Amino acid sequence: MSHVDRLALAVETGALPLPDDGTVVVLRAAPSRFLSLMPPERLLCEQGFRPLHDALSAENLPVLPVVERASAGLVVVNCTRSRAETLGNVARGFAMLPPGGLLALNGGKTDGVDSLARQIAKAVPQAGSYVKAHGRVAWFERPEELPPELRDWAEAACPAPTVSGHLTAPGMFSPDAPDPGSQLLAESFGPGLTGRVADLGAGWGWLADACLKACPGVSELDLYEAEYIALEAAQRNVTDPRARFHWADVTKLGKGTSPYDVVICNPPFHQGRAAEPALGIAFIAAAARILKVSGRFLMVANRQLPYEAALDAAFSRWERLHETRSFKVISATHPRRT
């Protein structure tokens, strides 16, 4: 049973009361049975991850990458992998509610939902709880005056500059500093890298910024990123006029995309907590689809991830340029055409 089924059961059993009026706002929404229980005219979903945003849109559900403001009767906060991001969403959710409105926190034990609920309850008394499928839905009634803890959580979740001056926020990949894999891949950049470049899974823009600074022969660089807030940060971090920004599901790139001379990539290897090599494999296939026949693919990956068969399938030639105890940098050429 998934977390979204748990939320539906909390409503269907009568444990979680639904308001008679006001919008039902769902932060980090995903297609679910719970959403099907809501009248579409009273529903507003927020989902900045492009694949899930598109899935919600395909079901004709109202969805925005960011909900700036709303007059809600109920706010649902689905837990993410980032505790600070989740608490920031809780603070935003309470700000959308009138006094007496309900905020429901939904997540699994591996999301830390129990400790999150305890932390919220120290600021806002818990009104109810529903436990199912190795997780919990806990709800809280907004008080007349919002406690100061909510302001602290909201501020902690806001984008802020790192030591290097780049803007990042909790929930983004490697928000405290550029990850070692990206730094290793950047060592391969130089004046010989020229033409049209794409950065797949660009995150908050460090790798693209490094490429533009090291490669004066790059004519333009397209950053493709699925997380809306990460792309917004990239737009502030990468100020070179050669950069262009695309909120996109990289795995869907192909037909209609102008071919590139070079594709650079530090592909994601998980969406939840477990490693999912299929994500990186999909990025490799996408790179082959959007490269010119004469193009080159430069990728860094965790050393233990099994990408070799995918490289064989997508490219006629590839080699390891660098390898450390943790990472491998791969160069691939001659993309196969199917």
Summarize pLDDT for 5-50 with one digit per residue, the tens: 899 999 999 999 999 989 999 999 999 999 999 989 999 999 999 9
Q: For the chain, which residues make up each domain, given as ranges? A: 3-157, 160-335
State the Cα–Cα distance between residues 4 and 296, nearest whole angstrom.
Answer: 41
- Equal fold, 3-157 vs 160-335: yes
90: enclosing H helix or E strand: helix 83-95
What mean pLDDT comes out for the span 271-285? 79
State the Cα–Cα distance between residues 264 and 199, nearest whole angstrom.
Answer: 5
State the Cα–Cα distance between residues 308 and 312, nearest whole angstrom.
Answer: 6
**Pick from 179, 151, 157, 154: which is nearest to 170 by CA?**
157
- State residue 1's pLDDT score: 41
State the Cα–Cα distance between residues 48 and 253, nearest whole angstrom.
Answer: 18
Q: What is the pTM of this model?
A: 0.94
- State residue 5's pLDDT score: 85
Residues 6+ away with beta carbon under 8 Å from 302: 181, 269, 326, 327, 328
- State residue 163's pLDDT score: 85
Summarize pLDDT for 132-185 with one digit per residue, the tens: 989 999 999 999 999 999 999 999 999 999 988 999 999 999 999 999 999 999
Return the minimum-mean-pLDDT range out of 2-11, 127-136, 283-292: 2-11
Residue 19 · residue 68 · CB < 8 Å: no
Residue 88 CA neighbour count, 13 Å, CB half = 16
Residue 167 · residue 161 · CB < 8 Å: yes
* Band of residue 53 on the pLDDT scale cut at 50, 70, 90: very high
Selecting from 3.40.1280.10, 3.40.50.150, 3.30.70.20, 3.40.50.1000, what CATH number does the domain 160-335 have? 3.40.50.150
State the Cα–Cα distance between residues 106 and 74, nearest whole angstrom.
Answer: 13
3-class secondary-structure state, position 252: helix
DSSP state for residue 259 in the 8-state scheme: P
Both tokens of 72, joined, read 């809600």
- State residue 275's pLDDT score: 57
Residue 103 · residue 115 · CB < 8 Å: no
Residue 15 · residue 130 · CB < 8 Å: yes
What CATH architecture does domain 3-157 belong to? 3-Layer(aba) Sandwich (3.40)
Residue 250 has pLDDT above 90, yes or no: yes
Residue 23 · residue 9 · CB < 8 Å: no
* Band of residue 2 on the pLDDT scale cut at 50, 70, 90: low
Backbone phi, psi, residue 97, to 5°? -100, 150
* Band of residue 3 on the pLDDT scale cut at 50, 70, 90: low
Give the orientation angle of helix 148-157 with respect to helix 83-95, to 10 degrees.
Answer: 130
* Band of residue 4 on the pLDDT scale cut at 50, 70, 90: low
State the Cα–Cα distance between residues 214 and 186, nearest whole angstrom.
Answer: 9
CA separation, residue 319 to residues 92, 277, 297 (Å): 47, 19, 11
